[in-house]
A and B are shown apart, each in its own frame.
Chain A
Amino acid sequence: MVIAAPQTVDVDVNAVIDKLKEKFPEAVKNDTRQGYKGVIVDKSKLVEVATSIRDEFGFDYLSSATGVDYLGIADEMEMVYHAYRTTGGPALVFKAQTPRDNPEIPSLIDVWPGVDFQEREVWDLYGIRFPGHPNLQRILLWEGFNGHPMRKDWKEAYFEEDHKPFESRWPAGHVHRIEEKNAYGHNVMYPADLDLSRLTDTSEESLYNSLGLGVDVQDLTGEGGIKTDRLVVNLGPHHPSTHGVFRMVVTLDGETIETLDPVMGYLHRNHEKIGERNSFLQNMPFTDRLDYISSMSNNLGYALAVEQLLALGARYQPPTYRAEVIRVLMAELTRIVNHLWSLGFLLNDLGAFFTPMLYANNEREKILDFFEATAGSRLMCNYMRFGGVFKDIPERIHSVVNMVNDKVRDYNTMDYLTEMINERLPRFMDEYERLLVNNEILKTRTVGVGVLPADRAIAYSTCGPLLRGSGVAYDIRRSDPYSIYPELDFDIPVGQNGDIYDRFMVRVYEIRESLRILKQILPRLERTKGEEVVSKFNYLGRVPIGESYGRVENPKGELGYYVVSAGDEKGPQNPWRYHIRAPSFINLTALGPMSKGYKVADVVTILGSIDIVLGETDR
């Protein structure tokens, strides 16, 4: 294990853009729309420009690629790409535009293979085709679904209005269950030309066709030897090792993995479509339900994205120092919660059923108690606000006897935190490391398994412990810092071999580093006592026009929010586009290549080492 402390590198993006324009005078233009950044690239030259951005300008890491539908504003569809340097620095944003009817943009999969799932998602939800993509199938919905739901003119069965709040709620809010308005009594809607004569489930056909089965009986030993065929095994969507409702379609040669196709969307709950209907503030509790293990950091990322937009306006008050301190406190505690959970479940996947999980969970519950006392809920904290937090941390973790509750707790919050951070968690980590780190079975199962080399890790746009386990010291807290991280002293643990054991160790060390940060946070909390932390953002507050990409180093990797505020001159109350760059989703791009050649039992562990959560993968 290497500890790296990369320094922030200043990258002058404007200089890069100028050089890019010099090189491609015809194809590259500045994005001059109000509040927008970066360049617009002519789509016919997109691959060429992208290759140049990667190779000549060194933006080797494509963080996010997503679509936007500008129906009614420019009547165009747009692909937005955010590229970074793995040495650090801000983003180079570039976009490509295409008409709404027959939308088509060349695929960048040859430049950045990590764009694979993201382009499939855009095809699925927006219907933009990507010539050059080898496997352009729906990813979140199923083949045969009617329409592309994220298009602005696509309305769902339970559609009420374009924007919240809905008219029917007040002042004459006659309660109704929305299914009562639907003829089927369900959340369904069929096209007018529904063919009732042919109602068979064809959603799996193209998936199995793409596996090319039944044609490759191999002669293993030459003449007259044993003939073998490949075997398809479906792991999931109901499988204990998939950490939720994830499915892997595995083609096996004996016990060895030949191909692995991740199938997702079993928890696709239309986050982004609902997010465009919500007001900016209303999205905050929905972000809790993305990565439902680390809701506090999800909140932080979204708050940062909207604060970037708010800062474009005149009357924006940035969060106070204490608010920032509390945010970092929460984010780092969340990191510990998440890593404890993921370490426990990695061991669970290895067959150490429940003991490491239970030990880790004991400590996790202690942190959840603090979250519950501060934010009101164990999991769905909904704690951050734009320009502050919900409330200051309470003086006491305190509950009273009443008709509901029975046994009471009453602790001083600062004592509780101090003891947890300075004594209990370090003591626990010592013990946990003794329990696991040198365990021979763990090492046999994990060392040298699921290897992902550094260059592939970057190419697949992986992030978080997966990327750092492969030896790339890329941590947004250092590379593109936010909040008060620049003034805090901590290191970035990175692996050397890029195997499961390295990812495991990166997480162990990250808990240690988080504790180191938290120890620096405690005196800051004491010092800033009494400072105002509550935000003044109105419940239907307007947000200046523009785009922003707020990203945080979530426990699982880079969580980014691409938020577009458009459509209203005064500043809209609802986001025009609300996209989540989910670390779990993009990290899964590497799962297939990483598993090739290993055994079925290893796949379970490799998946466990990526540490996915389905709420975020499928959104």
Chain B
Amino acid sequence: MSDLNLRELHNTEFPIPDELQSNLAITSLSKVYNWSRRSSMWPLLFGLACCAIEMIGTAASRFDFSRFGMEVMRGSPRQSDLMIVSGTVTKKMIVPIVRLYNQMPEPKYVLAMGACASGGGPFKEGYNVVSGVDKYLPVDVYVPGCPPTPQALIHGLIALQKKIDGQSLANMDDVPWYGVGPSEPTPIPILGPDVIDPRQMDIIRRQAELAALGKPYGVRELPAPQMKAVVAAKGAAPAAAAADGGEVDAAKAERLRKREEALARKHAAKGE
């Protein structure tokens, strides 16, 4: 519906007379390229769980993401640019998901919709749940919520568009799919006694050796939280807290330092 807005494409470094502003734009190839890509993002018609209902709600007439050029939801991964992972990813389902992702042509994007897709959500502790699709696929945008409302999903889609806008054709890190050779497919997980990520074979082998020796395996012991030190740091000067060491302390001290700085800045501003 909306016609081409030239101002959107225009590079402000080059002045254009006012009367020509709606007829002429000086721009870069990257900008035109990104603009056309992000304005015709076709999502994969792919619903997993509860969030899919809100995704359909977003596609329906009340919220209508065709306003963003996304109305063409494709059933085939070959024709889609964006995978909206809308719901809980289970171990049984991650195999088809990785396969679908590999079948999508570059450039492709993944949006993790909702708490489950981002990090496992309320079902995280379940034995058949993958705690976040980003354990297997690179995720571009996370949309929190359980489920995110249609407006929250659109906010996430806009965030994705912004991300695309920021990519540059000149930078090969941004557009790796123009590199030499085919892009590397993500290895497909194996359903064994539990789901096996082929990229983790080394760790699995090491842990199997531990198991063979009868040592504890599969569990990583965390250092005990240094809560006492934090308590001390709270009352004392920030420098002292930093000297105590420890990750928690460092973060705390950093925050305290920032706070002091902000205060100093504020005082300085008042003084002027």
- Residues of A whose CB lies within 8 Å of any CB of B are 140-142, 144-146, 149, 156-160, 172, 174, 176-194, 196, 199-201, 203, 237-240, 243-245, 265-271, 273-274, 277, 285-286, 289, 292-293, 357-358, 361-362, 365, 378-380, 614-615
Chain B interface size, as a band, is 35 or more
Chain A residues touching B, majority SS: loop
Chain A residues whose C-beta falls within 8 Å of the C-beta of B62 in the assembled complex: 361-362, 365
Q: A189-B194, A245-B93 are in contact. Are A196 and B205 (CB under 8 A)?
A: yes
Q: Which of B128, B190, B196, B205 has the most CB of A within 10 A?
A: B128
Chain A residues whose C-beta falls within 8 Å of the C-beta of B271 in the assembled complex: none
Chain B, residues 215-249, CB within 8 Å of chain A (1/0): the string is 00111111001010000000000000000000010
A361 x B57 contact (CB < 8 A): yes
**Would you call B6 an interface residue if the criterion is a C-beta within 8 Å of the partner chain's C-beta atoms?**
no
Q: Please, which residue of chain A has its CB at the minimum distance from the CB of B59?
A: A354
Query: Which one, B21-29, B119-127, B160-168, B253-261, is touching chain A?
Result: B119-127
Q: Which of B49, B62, B96 has the most CB of A within 10 A?
A: B49
A183 x B49 contact (CB < 8 A): no
Q: A194-B204, A361-B61 are in contact. Are A274 and B50 (CB under 8 A)?
A: no
B197 x A274 contact (CB < 8 A): no
**Would you call B87 an interface residue if the criterion is a C-beta within 8 Å of the partner chain's C-beta atoms?**
yes
Q: Please, which residue of chain A has its CB at the minimum distance from the CB of B131?
A: A187
Chain B residues whose C-beta falls within 8 Å of the C-beta of A177 in the assembled complex: 119
Given contacts A142-B92, A178-B125, 18 further A-B contacts (CB under 8 A): A145-B191, A158-B125, A160-B125, A183-B218, A192-B211, A192-B217, A196-B204, A199-B192, A244-B47, A244-B52, A267-B49, A267-B88, A270-B123, A274-B125, A289-B49, A289-B50, A289-B122, A379-B53
- Residues of B whose CB lies within 8 Å of any CB of A are 45-50, 52-54, 56-57, 60-62, 75, 87-88, 90-93, 95-96, 100, 116, 119-120, 122-131, 135, 146-147, 149, 190-197, 200-201, 203-205, 207-208, 211-212, 217-222, 225, 227, 248
Complex Cα distance, B192 from A176, in Å, reads 28
A292 x B88 contact (CB < 8 A): no
A194 x B208 contact (CB < 8 A): yes
Complex Cα distance, B204 from A156, in Å, reads 17
Complex Cα distance, B47 from A55, in Å, reads 44
Complex Cα distance, B129 from A149, in Å, reads 13
A192 to chain B, nearest CB (A): 4
B252 to chain A, nearest CB (A): 12
B64 to chain A, nearest CB (A): 10
Q: A156-B127, A187-B130, A270-B127 are in contact. Are A362 and B61 (CB under 8 A)?
A: yes
A182 x B128 contact (CB < 8 A): no
A186 x B127 contact (CB < 8 A): no
B190 x A201 contact (CB < 8 A): yes
B193 x A615 contact (CB < 8 A): no
Complex Cα distance, B125 from A269, in Å, reads 9
Q: Which 8 A-B pairs have the closest CB atoms?
A: A270-B126, A174-B225, A146-B193, A156-B127, A292-B50, A269-B123, A192-B211, A203-B191
A141 x B61 contact (CB < 8 A): no
Complex Cα distance, B247 from A354, in Å, reads 54
Q: Please, which residue of chain A has its CB at the minimum distance from the CB of B205?
A: A196
Chain A residues whose C-beta falls within 8 Å of the C-beta of B218 in the assembled complex: 157, 182-184, 189-190
